[in-house]
């Protein structure tokens, strides 16, 4: 069982920045591919980005590319989502997720999810 706890959400003005953190339990965090997702009111959850376990390769949704950066600190069992140049349309609950399968290639399938943290961007 892996527990994920997000933090760092809040209210920020458009153009501002926030850094979200996701702390994971478990001794093998370095073997988890970690993803970030978000869900805005009335919308489906959407993929934001991910960082793989093997080479810490990152991939991003087009909507956040160039503005958001994912990183990880395996010593702290934590993955980060640095969000810059925030826009009102980035307002959502942000979730982190863990893929513990050690897939050779990015699978897009996740086994565990956090409870989410609210990000609100005012115009």
> pLDDT tens for residues 51-68?
999 889 999 999 999 999
Of the chain, the percentage scoring pLDDT greater than 90 comes to 89
Coil/strand/helix, residue 96: strand
Of the chain, the percentage scoring pLDDT greater than 70 comes to 100
Compute mean pLDDT per 10 residues along the chain, 123 residues long, and list them: 96 98 92 96 96 93 98 96 98 97 87 97 96
For residue 43, the model assigns a pLDDT of: 96
Compute the distance between CA of residue 60 and CA of residue 103 in angstroms, rounded to an integer: 18
Helical (H) or strand (E) element with 22: strand 18-24
For residue 107, the model assigns a pLDDT of: 85
């Amino acid at each position: 069982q892996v527990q994920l706890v997000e933090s760092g959400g809040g209210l920020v003005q458009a153009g501002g920045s926030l850094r979200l953190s996701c702390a994971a339990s478990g001794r093998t965090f370095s073997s988890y591919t970690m993803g970030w997702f978000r869900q805005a009111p009335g919308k489906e959850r959407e993929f934001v980005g991910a960082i793989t376990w093997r080479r810490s390769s990152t991939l991003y949704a087009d909507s956040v590319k160039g503005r958001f950066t994912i990183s990880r600190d395996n010593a702290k069992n934590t993955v980060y989502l640095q969000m810059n140049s925030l826009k009102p349309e980035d307002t959502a609950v942000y979730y982190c997720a863990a893929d513990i399968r050690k897939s050779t290639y990015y699978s897009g399938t996740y086994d565990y999810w956090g409870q989410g943290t609210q990000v609100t961007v005012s115009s």
